[in-house]
Amino acid sequence: MIGLFDSGHGGLTIFSALQARFPARSFLYLGDHANVPYGNRPSEQVVALTRAGVEQLFSRNCRLVLLACNTATAVALRQLQQHWLPHSPWRAKGHNVVGIIAPTVEAATQTPWAVTHPQYPQKYNTDLIAVLGTSRTVASGVYPEEIGKRCPKVEVVQQASPGLAGAIEDGAADGELDRLAADCVEKLMLQTHGRAPHRAILGCTHYPLVQHLFARHLPKSTRILSQPEIVADSLEDYLARHPEFGEGGGAIIGSQLLTTGDAARVRATARLFMDASLGFERISR
């Protein structure tokens, strides 16, 4: 079973894409709805909450956990991979944790994540890449930093849309969502002085739900990079290279959804993100 962790609902877009791509695999999703949002929390709290969520999934037979959240990945993943997991008992049992930023950067730069220095022809790449995300993801600077390592001549322009993720969860009308997407793109284009980005990263897992609205307002030549399909492609490659994370030949348990919040309320909002046939089980933290 593969675990997915998110601070709330956004990772359900990743969950749905993985279910569609891997129908013979079981996934266990944990949303930390009791502590959402993570964006206004200090970094040390985000790390602690993310680590606790990963351990919950490890303890429920998930040997591989994917952080299906840009904020958790940007703030906590490196700490978990480099400082916590190597010294925890989980490493000896073959567990691992990965995130969604690495495959997104790979897709944006067409460069493997393992390549941390520019190589031909990427070092001559002078494209313009836009990053649209939450305030916390944009403030982290992780996308410009990681893209710059691989394509130093690429220009990365970021634009936050502080209210868009919340409006999506609140079930805002299409007109309001369109206004927020248009405002985000307008501010982005002011930064680029009217230049059309070659690629636009939707750096929030809520945003695939309004990808059509971004497409309406972005220049027609801009290619939109949406994380669910990117992550599914990346996980397919990862599992091919790491067969130790296979299902083990046992019976398919089926995918499950967990929350630290109110299960009924969480399920009601989840209908905006995915097929509501699966219910949420509340767990304590």
The residues annotated as belonging to the active site are 69, 204
Q: Who's near 49: CB < 8 A, 6+ residues apart?
A: 7, 32, 35, 38, 41
Between the alpha carbon of residue 85 and those of residues 51, 53, 65, 93, 96, the distances in Å are 9, 13, 12, 11, 8
Q: For 193-261, give the secondary structure using H, E and C.
A: CCCCCCEEEEECCCHHHHHHHHHHHCCCCCEEEEHHHHHHHHHHHHHHHCHHHCCCCCCCCCCEEEECC
* Structure-token pair, residue 98: 């990965």
Return d(Cα 41, Cα 123) in angstroms, integer.
36
| Angle at which helices 101-109 and 142-150 cross, to 10° | 40
